[in-house]
Structure 1
Amino acid sequence: MDRRQRPDSMAPGAMEMGILAIIAIFLFGANRIPQLARSLGRAKGEFQKGIDEASEMAAIEDMDRGGMTEEAASEQE
Structure 2
Amino acid sequence: MFRNGLEPWHIAVMVVVLVLLFGSKKLPEMARGLGKSMRILKAETKALREDDAPAETANATAASQAEPVRPAVEPIVVTKVAEATKPTTA
- Is TM (by shorter chain) over 0.5? yes
Give TM-score scaled by structure 1 length.
0.64
- Taking every aligned residue pair, what percent have the same amino acid on both sides? 16
Query: Alpha carbons of 1:60 and 1:32: their partners in 2 closer, same or farther (altered >3 Å)?
Result: same
CA distance in structure 2 between the partners assigned to 1:60 and 1:19 by the alignment: 49
Is the counterpart of residue 15 in structure 1 residue 9 in structure 2?
yes
Aligned counterparts, 1:1-77, within 5 A? 7=3, 12-66=6-60, 77=69
Moved more, 18-27 or 45-54: 18-27
Decide which structure has the larger Cα Rg and report it. Answer: 2
Unaligned runs of 5+ in 2: 62-67, 70-90
CA distance in structure 1 between the partners assigned to 2:25 and 2:37 by the alignment: 20
Give TM-score scaled by structure 2 length.
0.56
* Secondary structure at the counterpart of residue 66 of structure 1: helix
The letter of the residue matching 1:38 is: R
> How many pairs align?
62
Unaligned runs of 5+ in 1: 1-5, 68-75
Q: From the two aligned structures, give the one with the greater helix fraction.
A: 1
Query: Post-superposition shift, 1:21?
Result: 1.5
* Secondary structure at the counterpart of residue 30 of structure 1: coil
CA distance in structure 1 between the partners assigned to 2:10 and 2:52 by the alignment: 39
